[in-house]
Amino acid sequence: MQELWVMLSRTLILYGFILVTLRVMGKREIGKLTVFDLVVSIIIAEIAAFTIDDTKMPLYKGLLPIALLAAVQIAFSYLSLKSRRFRELIDGKPSLIIEKGKIRDAEMRRHRYNIDDLLMQLREKDIADLGEVEFAFLEPTGKLSVIKKRSKQPVTNEDLGRNVPSDGLMLPLIIDGEILQDNLRRLGKDEWWLKMQLRSHGSADVKDVLFAGADEAGRFFVDYRDEVDPPDSENGAAKPEALR
């Protein structure tokens, strides 16, 4: 009987400790856990199970590894905020599965992602026709993000008989003050052009920019870090403008 009470008390203590630990580790939607988050969660669950089951093992031997894992996860999250490269290493990068309506089968094979998976996730988004999709991204969490063709979007341009050209995909050009050279080349632009765009929005320092992007239709968008006073903007972000 005493062993039963010990097990119950350890269960309650571990429950409270893990609950606090997960809260400290930060908010993350369960369906959007990264591989790293999932590994940490599984290990914590295993440690908790062993600690509850083995009543002869001192409780601190179960609590300390859980606290250590939480500290590592918090440290990695902090590094991810500071470094985009580290974030990509830990969380991975989105993969472009459909580009301008064309399925990129080589990219699908690289992720061992088949057509049935693609069709299933499209159906979950109420898309039965592949022809409706302009771009689709396989996110690091395994979720599929879809951008429909302009003619298939809810604005009913097709019903009005309008021939609406595609704006293309808005490509990130600056993230966390770092220029993405590959996307610049994809747009056929260079750093001088990008800095001129920033200067036209009142900022010449790339480090002040949290996010900047442009699309093939010529729209440019820039958003600044919180500590930077954004020029000519009430909400901290410049509205998309035509590229010059």
Q: Which tens digit of pLDDT belongs to each residue from 164-201?
A: 566 667 889 998 888 999 889 988 889 999 988 888 88
Q: Are 79 and 100 within one domain? A: no
- Specify the pTM: 0.56
Is the same domain home to 7 and 83?
yes
- Domain match, 22 and 61 both: yes
83 and 45 in a common domain: yes
Domain count, the chain: 3
Residue 162 belongs to a domain: no
User: Do 222 and 205 meet the contact criterion of CB atoms below 8 Å apart?
Assistant: no
- Following CA atoms 175, 176, 179, 184 in sequence, which dihedral angle do they give, to the nearest 10 degrees? 10
188 and 140, same structural domain? no
User: Domain boundary residue among 60, 90, 120?
Assistant: 90
The end-to-end CA distance of the chain, in Å, is 79
Considering the domain boundaries, does residue 15 fall inside one? Answer: yes
pLDDT values of the chain reduced to their tens digit, one per residue, 244 residues:
677 788 888 889 988 988 888 787 776 655 566 777 788 888 988 999 988 888 888 888 889 999 998 898 888 888 888 888 888 787 778 899 999 888 888 898 898 988 888 989 999 998 877 888 999 999 887 889 999 887 776 655 555 666 656 666 788 999 888 899 988 998 888 999 998 888 888 776 888 888 889 887 778 888 887 766 666 544 344 444 544 4
Asked if the structure places residue 157 within a domain, the reply is: no
Distance between CA atoms of residues 86 and 72, nearest Å: 14
Q: What is the DSSP letter of 169?
A: P
pLDDT, one tens digit per residue, over 64-89 is 999 998 898 888 888 888 888 888 78
> What domain range includes position 50?
2-90
Q: What is the CATH number of the domain that holds 107?
A: 3.30.240.20
Task: Report whether 104 contacts 96 (CB < 8 A).
Answer: yes
